[in-house]
């Protein structure tokens, strides 16, 4: 199916025309970013933790230290809400009330599964690495057995998912269009700068092409 089926929890109710449920839109939002925020509840206390992720098909992988409270909590079956957001511009209207931002966001609800199979765990770590820097996995030393034991990997199925997107300029009240106030959009984007080599390097090879040509 090309669409995620909206549920009562994922149906966009505020400005529903901005809601998107197609896999193409959701995948692009997820694949362009690499930092998500995971929200969960422990004994009545909500937590929202930023972390990296990777995607394979309809599975989102989270990983971190085996000592991580978040990963221990989620592996016990506590429901999680994962969000990814891109801010594309500041929308400046003629009134303070109608200021906004252009954005792309995805929300995923569900319960994560602890990845215990060594082959899937290693593949998930490859996916993480390639998600952040495509081409990097084949250049670096692979994780050792001890490193794998020190790492927890969770798999979150992409089942209850929705995206919300705003594009375009400001939307002012008709009477405000005559006000002598500049209005429009200030575009924002992530800029890639010159790589900085490790100060402890010893005979490093030249900067790889995947780093020279990095983009998201």
Question: What's residue 202's pLDDT?
Answer: 81
**Residue 204 is encoded by which pair of tokens?**
């490093």
Question: What's residue 179's pLDDT?
Answer: 97
**Residue 170 is encoded by which pair of tokens?**
């400001």
Distance (Å, whole) CA 80 – CA 160:
11
Distance (Å, whole) CA 82 – CA 48:
9
Strand partners, 165: 104
Low-confidence spans in the chain with pLDDT less than 50: none
Domain boundaries, the chain: 16-87+102-167
Distance (Å, whole) CA 212 – CA 208:
6
**Residue 26 is encoded by which pair of tokens?**
């959701």
213's CB contacts (< 8 A; 6+ apart) are: none
Question: What's residue 201's pLDDT?
Answer: 82
Strand partners, 53: 62
179's CB contacts (< 8 A; 6+ apart) are: 94, 95
Distance (Å, whole) CA 48 – CA 26:
21
**Residue 152 is encoded by which pair of tokens?**
């927890």
Question: What's residue 203's pLDDT?
Answer: 80
Question: What's residue 53's pLDDT?
Answer: 97
Q: What is the CATH number of domain 16-87+102-167?
A: 2.30.110.10
| DSSP secondary structure of 142-201 | PPPHHHHHTEEEEEEE--EEEEEEE-SS----GGGGGSS---EEEE-----------TT-
């Amino acid at each position: 199916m090309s669409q995620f089926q909206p549920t009562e929890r994922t149906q966009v109710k505020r400005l529903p025309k901005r809601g998107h449920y197609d896999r193409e839109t959701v995948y692009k939002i997820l694949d362009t970013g690499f930092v998500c925020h995971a929200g969960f509840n422990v004994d009545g206390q909500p937590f929202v933790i930023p972390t990296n992720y990777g995607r394979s098909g309809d599975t989102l992988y989270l990983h971190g230290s085996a000592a991580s409270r978040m990963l221990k909590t989620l592996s016990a079956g506590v429901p999680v809400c994962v969000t990814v957001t891109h801010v594309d511009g500041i929308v400046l209207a003629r009134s303070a009330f109608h200021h906004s931002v252009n954005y792309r966001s995805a929300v995923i609800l569900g319960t994560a599964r602890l990845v215990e199979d060594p082959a899937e765990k290693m593949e998930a770590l490859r996916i993480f690495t390639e998600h952040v820097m495509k081409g990097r996995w084949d250049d670096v030393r692979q994780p050792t057995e001890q490193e794998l034991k020190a790492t927890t990997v969770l798999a979150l199925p992409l089942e209850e998912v929705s995206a919300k997107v705003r594009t375009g300029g400001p939307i002012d009240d008709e009477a405000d269009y005559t006000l002598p106030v500049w209005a429009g959009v200030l575009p924002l984007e992530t800029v890639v700068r010159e790589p900085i080599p490790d100060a402890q390097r010893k005979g490093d090879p030249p900067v790889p092409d995947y780093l020279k040509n990095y983009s998201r």
